[in-house]
Structure 1
Amino acid sequence: MNTDFIEKTNKIYEHLLDEESKRLYVNRLKYNLTGDVQYLNDIVCSGSYLRNVLPWLNDNKNLPVYIYGAGIWGDKLYHAIKDLASVEGFVDSYKAGEYYCGKKIYSIDELTNSVNNVLFIVSIKKGYAEVKNLLLKRGVDASKIIALGEIYDNEVNEYFETFIWHDDNEVFVDAGVYDGGTTLDFVKWSHNKYKKIYMFEPSIDYYNRFYKNVEHLDNCEWIKKGLWSKPDTLRFFDRPDSDIATEQNLSGLKGIDYSDEKWVDIPVTSLDSYLPDERVTFIKMDIEGSELEAIKGAKRIITEQKPKLAICLYHKLEDIWTIPELLLEYNPEYYFYVRHYSMDMLDTVLYAVNNQMA
């Protein structure tokens, strides 16, 4: 590891504003450089989902744990906590008697006699309230139940953390719209007081998902283009049930069918060229590895206007240092927070705020 790289990452570290950000940044950097899953586990355990779960587990460390829901979220949860708690099995009435992650799956009836001496973590994101009520009716004490979906709904504020301030004239750029959820979260966060929303999303398929969710909003404009360093037309790969990605960003990925009919030419633009006269106050980017190029295309806005930023850091291994390095080049007054919002390697977000607001 050369001296120049160490100096760059140290400079980024010095601009991190709290201990959680420093811990996440270091572990993310180590994971990206080494691939060691222990660093990934440390990231997940410091993330928004498990931040409050782990102290609860520690307070009840003598009790066995059952994960309600033998699905993908149950799998991720199990691998995150298996070395930190005594996970005895899963609860899933549809799969009772089977094994998942090497652990037996039980029906709730099988555990009726021991519900007062175990912990339940409800891993499902939807329908968790019904499951929680079922457990309460079976005699489980409320203090012995945690639902990840409830944490997600009430405690996870992806892109709109409490350290992000707002005013009544926000101009918000939502780059990578998906179903419009982030735009709706922005409106709620701003108390419906904003000047303009610009939604950059090149996928027509996603338009059909988000239009009905945002059509009622005032001063909200959908731009049918991706963001890049300059206006251009790029070749994108359209993956079913996933985000589209540029040819450059897919290089090196294995196991993907690159059939010609799955490639589409999509217009892209830069923020500097599309918004020459707009004063932007907040930019969010989740654009499948195009974040660095899109930041290059917003150099003037970032340098002169210094907007708040929420930029995804997980699409490319080098994003963890190249993105904050470029941001500090454009605006040395930026300081950073880092947060993690999943139980795997996805959804690490870098927040940039101005020094006077930090």
Structure 2
Amino acid sequence: MDFNYLEKYILTNESYNQDDLIEIINKKDKIYLYGAGSGGATTLKWLEQNSKCEIMGFIDSDIKKQGEFLSNKRIFSPQEILKDSDILIASTYHTEISKYLEENGFLNYISLPIDLIIWDKFKTIKYLNDIKEINKLREVYEILEDSTSKEFFIRTLLYRWSWDSSFIKQSKYSQYCIENIQKSNIHTIVDAGAFDGDTIKVFSGFFPSLKNIFAFEPTKKNILKIIEYSLNKKDNLKIFPVEKGLWDSEEQLSFFETDSIGGNNKIIEDSSKENGLNKINVIDLDSFLKNNSSLKIDLIKMDIEGAEYKALLGSKKTIFKNNPILEICIYHDIDHYYDIISFLENNYQGVYVYQIGHHSDWMMETVLYAIPKEKIER
């Protein structure tokens, strides 16, 4: 599966069509959304803007949610719903939910491509219809270090074009734990998008010589969880929680936050277009580290809901000084498939080799691993 395969496929196969999906939905009078999380809430908003059918409420198997309300819609248990009801699955756990519905006699359901609706917003389809963008993607394909990375690159693009899950293939190693690096030389990590400390636990178990983690997380509730973990852990790892997001400057920005794991939290540069926003503090990594000139950063990980490119701009001096391993999520915006490697090549030409990993059975968790040539194990 090479780049020519991608080009041929998009020429001979129609993309997954949002209008066709809406037409199918509009043939139904009343529907329920299965999944009372951020996916369901955002899908409801999308449906209210694009379809005419009546949304009866949400269905969720979580008993803690049942009987509550999400976006002014009641959350039902599956047992409360008639078997012939029309259901739209609005959850990333669509495979498990589809199986459950079939086993329990619910046959009138459609599994929505909520990853493409919410995060991609069908942008990839427009992207792959533009010959200029195709040529940029070919440049990236040629730069990638190995055939496996090239294959993951093509497969994720094909999925985003077709919403055909058969294209998805996952890396054999766990996310952020790429094997062909010199693990014993990793002492200090910047974890941007530390969430509730989940990746801190991954890193502490993977890197035997790890001493310090700077955990950037702009939300108070997650910072408190990181602090709690740092107080209760039994090893000598030093964790420095930073209640800020990484950006290309130090300022305060609007931020959309959900209550769900894997939600679509994001920085909103134009706050006039969104409601219900919070304010968060952001900082560029270069400014944050300016008083720690003796500190060597060995690895930078970024999973910051689409702010990765801006954060890299604000880390330019740090990267130049330290040549750290970079583990950058590129799935939030199709532009990042090209822009992030282009930024690194333009500013650090000859320093890095590039590999791609994919760590989910849907659009999310595509990671660019930029590894300094002297730190890669052949």
TM-score scaled by length of structure 2: 0.58
Contact 2:253 2:269 in 1 (8 A): no
Q: 1:297 Cα deviation (Å)? A: 0.5
Contact 1:232 1:269 in 2 (8 A): yes
Other structure's SS at 1:173 match: strand
CA distance in 2, matches of 1:236, 1:306: 31
Q: 1:342 Cα deviation (Å)? A: 0.7
Offset from partner CA, 1:61-81 (integer Å, 9 cap, x none):
xxxxxxxxxxxxxxxxxxxxx
Residue among 343, 348, 352 paired with 2:366: 348
Q: Is 1:230 aligned to 2:249, yes or no?
A: yes
AA partner of residue 374 (structure 2) = Q
Q: 1:171 Cα deviation (Å)? A: 1.2
Structure 1, 159-168 or 337-346: larger mean CA deviation: 159-168
Q: Residue in 2 aligned with 1:269?
A: 283
Q: Is 1:184 aligned to 2:209, yes or no?
A: no
Q: Structure 2: any 5+ residue segments left out of the alignment?
A: 1-128
Other structure's SS at 1:280 match: coil
Q: Residue in 2 aligned with 1:336?
A: 354
AA partner of residue 162 (structure 2) = D
CA distance in 1, matches of 2:246, 2:367: 18
Residue among 171, 175, 191 paired with 1:158: 175
Residues 4/251 of structure 1: CA separation in 2 closer, same or farther (3 Å cut): farther
Residues 235/29 of structure 1: CA separation in 2 closer, same or farther (3 Å cut): same
Matches within 5 A, 1:292-303: 292-303=309-320
Q: 1:178 Cα deviation (Å)? A: 1.4
Q: 1:195 Cα deviation (Å)? A: 3.6
- Number of residue pairs matched? 239
Offset from partner CA, 1:4-31 (integer Å, 9 cap, x none):
6555434322331221100111233455
Other structure's SS at 2:279 match: strand
Q: Is 1:245 aligned to 2:259, yes or no?
A: no
Q: CA RMSD in A?
A: 2.5
Residues 239/218 of structure 1: CA separation in 2 closer, same or farther (3 Å cut): same
Q: Residue in 2 aligned with 1:206?
A: 222
CA distance in 2, matches of 1:185, 1:250: 34
CA distance in 1, matches of 2:214, 2:277: 26
Other structure's SS at 2:194 match: coil
Contact 2:144 2:150 in 1 (8 A): yes
Q: Residue in 1 aligned with 2:107?
A: none
Residue among 166, 169, 176 paired with 1:41: 166
AA partner of residue 234 (structure 1) = L
CA distance in 1, matches of 2:306, 2:272: 11
Q: Is 1:291 aligned to 2:308, yes or no?
A: yes
Q: Is 1:324 aligned to 2:341, yes or no?
A: yes
Other structure's SS at 2:183 match: coil
Residues 190/250 of structure 1: CA separation in 2 closer, same or farther (3 Å cut): farther
Other structure's SS at 2:287 match: helix
Contact 1:174 1:198 in 2 (8 A): yes
Percent identity for Structure 1 against Structure 2: 29
Residues 286/169 of structure 1: CA separation in 2 closer, same or farther (3 Å cut): closer
Contact 2:250 2:281 in 1 (8 A): yes
Q: 1:168 Cα deviation (Å)? A: 4.5
Matches within 5 A, 1:1-358: 5=133, 8-32=136-160, 35-38=161-164, 41-42=166-167, 44=168, 46-48=169-171, 156-168=173-185, 170-191=187-208, 193-215=209-231, 216=233, 218-241=237-260, 242=263, 244-248=265-269, 258-259=274-275, 262-276=276-290, 277=293, 278-332=295-349, 333-358=351-376
Q: Residue in 2 aligned with 1:102?
A: none
Contact 1:339 1:348 in 2 (8 A): yes
Other structure's SS at 1:20 match: helix
Structure 1, 221-230 or 330-339: larger mean CA deviation: 330-339
CA distance in 1, matches of 2:194, 2:339: 23
Q: Structure 1: any 5+ residue segments left out of the alignment?
A: 49-154, 253-257
